[in-house]
Amino acid sequence: MSPINFQKALNAEQLAAVQAPDGPVLIIAAAGTGKTRTITYRVAHLVERGVDARRILLLTFTNRAAREMMERAEDLVGAAVGGLWGGTFHHMANRMLRRHGDLVGYKLDYTILDEDDSRGIVRVVADGFGLLGKHFPKPDVLLSVFGLAANKELPVREIAAKQFEDHPIDIEDVLRVYKAYEGRKRQLNAMDFDDLLINGLKLFREQPSVLEKYQDHFEYILVDEYQDTNTIQAEWVDRLAERRRNLLVVGDDFQSIYSWRGADYRNIISFPNRYADTRIFKLETNYRSLPGILDVANVCIAGSPDQFQKELRPVREGSDKPVLVRCRAGEEQALYVIERIQQLKRSGYDLKDMAVLYRAHFHALELQLELARQRIPFVITSGVRFFEQAHIKDVCSLLRLIVNPEDELAFVRLTGLLPKIGEKTAARIFEALGRQCDLKTADGLKRLRDKLPPAAAAMWKEIEPIGLAYVSDHLADDPGEVIYRFVQTFYDEYAVETFENAERRLEDVNALIDFTTKFESCEAFLGEMALLTNLDAEMDTAQVTQTDALRLSTIHQAKGLEWSVVFLLWVVDGMFPSSRSMNESGGEGEERRLFYVATTRAKDRLFLCQPEIRRTRDGGVIPCEPSRFVTEIPPDLLKNDYVRFI
């Protein structure tokens, strides 16, 4: 590969950051200023300087970001970047805990609970205390309290007391559920997402020899989206980087939008205090958006005084202003968006150059209906994560149980597919089997069959051969084959009988089978599965980008992406800012940052849609006030448009 021309590829701000000498580095990178570019060139710079890629660690928050950076780095320096460690915090913690988890009290084949699993456990536990009736928080709420406590390293009591202060909820009950939940996870040898981080840190705190090993190994550590780190992640990185101190963090305190999950932008603010010799670089030259869009974004920044002040400087030229669209209600909003899209299409934009963003998934309901009716292709970065869909978890349950006979959750899921067996019966059978169920031997299979009711046993017989074949046909290194056989012998029919959209779901299953070929063993696949959130990010993105379709996305999921044209729905008080989040920790500040993230996704055109009313289910009408983020924008920075049809 020819040497990279850094001077040509980067501007002065970026170049300085890329060529920063060893030691702690903080890069404040505003939206659209080439953050990803800067990180990947930094990696390239290090590799070109002779650093072994295997000694570089690149931490990100999403699988997508990890993948994108790895690919771009590879494009730059080619195969030399192979072996680079890259991934999310959760992935890295998992990787280490799979090796050393025994030192913090887990068997190495622990299972990872996704949110659905966690919810199920909390529900059962709360039910056991007879708390499922009224006046007790739902599993989701309890989990968010537990999670916030975990990620901030605060006592559950404190978080719960604050969360429920105005409600007649007995905190002791909450704590009882919490303790039982923790105990149950232990019994299952399972970790939820938070446990991965907690135990990852515990490993570093309590096992100096392990910590030293990794400190020694990683010469350079780079952290993307550093503003989104929580206390645990920040300390984990600090410890890991302690010896070599080659820690480079990149972030934008103004794009911190995950405080509800424990992220604390003070980590980035205080970075220079923790590392006195920090070199700070600021990237403020925006390559993405037209000046009119940045004007609006800058107004938004100025509204929040307690952060690093920055001003986005446009490179591009043009006098177009963002458009404030007034319309009657959700239906008219949808019609407006579609009409504009058709018009922009005629003027040369592809559908894939356009996106509709919103605060919450349900904000796009009317639009989805209308797009479907008019047969305009669109893709949603969905709320339901691929690997958490019922059918995906179903088809993986057999594999899970074969690999790990003690996986009770898999057992309950699998046997629950059989007639006459629900949660209670399944749990009872598992208990009767001595809390394990070996499907790899004829004896183990028989023991299970004997305990099943007749109808279930008859159906179970179809599945049995797969367990034996797992051994005889050496399927341990072929997860896809196990799933395939399960579908052939059983699930195919089950799906058709159970789901009205069985065809679509079975397509998902086929995609899953294809996907497993990336893994060399069943264990490797299962060990990572829970951490993979959606297939789009993992599979060939080519397929998604090839088809010309409009993108619908929440603002959170749009972070880091860009489109020529962006529509922002429901920019009215109560929807955005969301009334539910206003009384929470981040409050208005976080909503404001979210608005900033939304506006800065747009390159050429930005439409802020502002319906006048919201229709309720029962036919009522709620008037909507304009969002405070719009009213604070000087009117001359915006164009106005009105919906004319009705």
Partner DNA sequence: GTTTCGGTTCTTTTT
Partner DNA sequence: GAACCGAAAC
Which residues have a catalytic role annotated?
35-36, 224-225, 255, 601
- How far, in Å, CA of 11 to CA of 306, rounded? 29
Q: Which is nearer to DNA, 9 or 360 (CB)?
A: 360
Query: From the CB of 48, what's the least distance to DNA, in Å?
Result: 30
Q: Which one of 186, 424, 435, 518 is in contact with DNA (CB under 7 A)?
A: 424
In contact, 103 and 203? CB cutoff 8 Å: yes
Residue 81, class by beta-carbon neighbours within 10 Å (0-12 exposed, 13-18 middle, 19+ buried)? buried
Q: Binding to DNA (CB under 7 A): which residues in 315-374?
A: 359-362, 365
Query: Is residue 135 a contact residue for DNA (CB under 7 A)?
Result: no
Residue 459 Cβ vs DNA, minimum distance, rounded to whole Å:
11
The binder of DNA chosen from 557, 599, 600, 627 (CB under 7 A): 557
Beta carbon nearer to DNA, 476 or 561: 561
162 binds DNA (CB under 7 A): no
- For DNA, which residue of 9, 132, 154, 511 counts as binding (CB under 7 A)? 132
Q: Tokens 């399960």 appear where?
A: 486
Q: Which is closer to DNA, CB of 194 or CB of 478?
A: 194
- Say whether residue 587 binds DNA (CB under 7 A): no
The one-letter code for the residue type at 19 is Q
User: Of 302 and 384, which has the nearer Cβ to DNA?
Assistant: 384
Q: What whole-number distance in Å separates Cα of residue 401 and Cα of residue 439?
A: 7
DSSP designation for 539: S
- Nearest approach, Cβ of 348 to DNA (angstroms)? 30
Binding mask 59-98 for DNA (x = CB under 7 A): --xxxx-----------------------x-xx-------
For DNA, which residue of 54, 202, 282, 385 counts as binding (CB under 7 A)?
A: 385
Pairing of strands 602-611, 220-223: unpaired
Please tell me whether residue 230 binds DNA under the rule CB under 7 A: no
Is the backbone of residue 31 left (phi > 0), alpha (psi -120 to 50) or beta? beta
436 belongs to the binding site for DNA (CB under 7 A): no
Using a 10 angstrom Cβ sphere, with 0-12 exposed, 13-18 middle and 19 or more buried, the burial of residue 65 is: buried
Q: Beta strand 313-314 with 323-327: parallel, antiparallel or unpaired? A: unpaired
Q: How are the residues of the chain apportioned to helix, strand and coil, as percentages rounded to the nearest 5?
A: 55, 15, 30
Phi (first) and psi of residue 356, to 5 degrees = -115, 120
Q: Which two tokens stand for residue 351?
A: 């559908």
User: Is residue 421 at the binding interface for DNA, with CB under 7 A as the rule?
Assistant: yes
Q: Work out how close the CB of 394 gets to DNA at its nearest, in angstroms, rounded to a whole number.
A: 12
Nearer to DNA, 194 or 353 (CB): 194
Does 229 sit near DNA (CB under 7 A)?
no
Tokens for 413, please give them: 């899921």
Token representation of residue 538: 């993992």
Adjacent-strand bridge partners of 220: 56
Answer whether 201's CB lies under 8 Å from 226's CB.
Answer: no
- Which region among 100-108, 134-142, 168-176, 372-380 touches DNA (by CB under 7 A)? 134-142
**Closest separation in Å from C-beta 75 to DNA:** 23
Other Cβ atoms within 10 Å of 50 Cβ, number: 7
Q: Hey, which residues does 621 pair with through a beta bridge?
A: 615
Q: Is the dihedral of CA 612, 563, 45, 71 positive or negative?
A: positive
In angstroms, what is the minimal distance from the CB of 157 to DNA?
21
Cα–Cα distance measured from residue 125 to residue 183, given in angstroms and rounded to the nearest whole number? 10
Closest contact distance (angstroms) between CB of 314 and DNA is 28
End-to-end CA separation in angstroms for the chain: 60
Task: Verify binding: residue 430, DNA, rule CB under 7 A.
Answer: no
Q: Is 491 in the site for DNA (CB under 7 A)?
A: no
**Binding to DNA, residues 620-639 (CB under 7 A):** none
List the structure tokens of 417. Answer: 């597919």
- Residue 231 makes contact with DNA by CB under 7 A: no
Complex with DNA: residue 63 or 246, whichever CB lies closer: 63
For position 251 contacting DNA by CB under 7 A, the verdict is no
Of 388 and 641, nearer to DNA (C-beta) is 388
- The CB-of-463 to DNA minimum distance in angstroms stands at 16
State the binding string over 496-535 for DNA (x if CB under 7 A, else -). -----x-----------------------------x-xx-
Dump the DSSP string for 233-270: HHHHHHHHHTTT--EEEEE-GGG---GGGTB-THHHHT
Q: What angle is formed at CA 571 by the lines to CA 568 and CA 574, rounded to 5 degrees?
A: 135
Nearest alpha-carbon partner for 308 in 263, 261, 256: 256
Tell me which H or E stretch contains 325.
strand 323-327
The pattern of x and - marking residues 255 through 294 that bind DNA according to CB under 7 A reads: --xx-xx---------------------------------
Between 357 and 565, CB nearer to DNA: 357
Q: Output phi, psi for 178, to 5 deg.
A: -60, -50
Q: How far is the CB of 118 from DNA (least distance, A)?
A: 8
Site for DNA contains 426 (CB under 7 A): yes
Does 167 bind DNA (CB under 7 A)? Our answer is no
Q: Choose the binding region for DNA from 56-64, 310-318, 349-357, 625-633 (rule: CB under 7 A).
A: 56-64
CB of 64 to DNA, least distance (A): 7
**Closest C-alpha to 624, from 635, 636, 616:** 616
Q: In whole angstroms, what is the distance from residue 350 CA to residue 111 CA? A: 44
Binding site for DNA (CB under 7 A): 61-64, 88, 90-91, 115-116, 123, 132, 138-140, 144, 193-194, 257-258, 260-261, 359-362, 365, 381, 383-385, 389-390, 416, 419-426, 501, 531, 533-534, 554, 556-557, 578, 580-581, 584, 617
